[in-house]
């Protein structure tokens, strides 16, 4: 701001409404210092208006939806292949990778303990962050961020 640069925020106005997430704080702060706010949806625009931001708001469309549309056929091919390789007719699909879920060894151990007790098979497409944390737990070492 002191340099006189104009700031734009892509995906402005998205909200989790979870103040435990650092991202929620960052989203709100950047929205109030941005000159241009590129909101993906009308709901995001409404959030910005309710928060009385000063920047100019543009509804731009949702990049996640655009990506899904762009890659839908390719994902469908992969999905068909993956599903044909599964040995289960019924299963639970799970994923977790956020810092608050995997960086605390006790929380991660609790997740693993719960998954081990599942009455159904668990399919878990593991995120690289979680894999690293699980490997460090298995080795008894502390992981670094």
Contact (Cβ atoms closer than 8 angstroms) between residue 137 and residue 109: yes
By CB neighbour count within 10 A (0-12 exposed, 13-18 middle, 19+ buried), where does 91 fall? Answer: middle
In this prediction the pTM is 0.57
Q: Could you report how far apart the first and last alpha carbons of the chain are, in Å? A: 30
Contact (Cβ atoms closer than 8 angstroms) between residue 38 and residue 9: yes
Q: What percent of the chain lies above the pLDDT cut of 70? A: 94
**CB-based contacts of 9, cutoff 8 Å, min separation 6:** 30, 31, 34, 36, 37, 38, 55
With a cut of 80, say whether residue 140 has pLDDT above it.
no
Domains in the chain: ranges and CATH: 1-85 (3.40.50.2000), 87-145 (no CATH)
Residue range 53-76, pLDDT digits in tens: 999 999 999 888 888 889 888 888
Active site annotation includes 32: no
Find the catalytic residue in 9, 25, 32, 97.
97
What is the residue-wise DSSP string for 95-106? ----HHHHTSHH
């Amino acid at each position: 701001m002191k340099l006189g640069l104009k700031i734009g925020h892509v995906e402005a106005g998205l909200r989790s409404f979870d103040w435990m997430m650092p991202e929620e704080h960052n989203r709100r702060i950047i929205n109030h210092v941005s000159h241009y706010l590129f909101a993906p949806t009308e709901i995001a625009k409404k959030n910005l208006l309710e928060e009385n931001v000063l920047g100019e708001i543009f509804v731009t469309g949702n990049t996640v939806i655009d990506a899904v549309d762009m890659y839908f056929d390719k994902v469908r091919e992969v999905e068909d292949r993956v599903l044909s390789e599964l040995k289960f007719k019924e299963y639970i699909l799970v994923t977790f990778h956020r810092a608050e879920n995997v960086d605390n060894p006790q929380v991660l151990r609790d997740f693993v303990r719960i998954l081990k007790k599942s009455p159904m098979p668990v399919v878990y497409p593991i995120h690289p962050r979680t894999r690293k944390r699980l490997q460090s737990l298995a080795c008894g070492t502390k992981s670094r961020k």
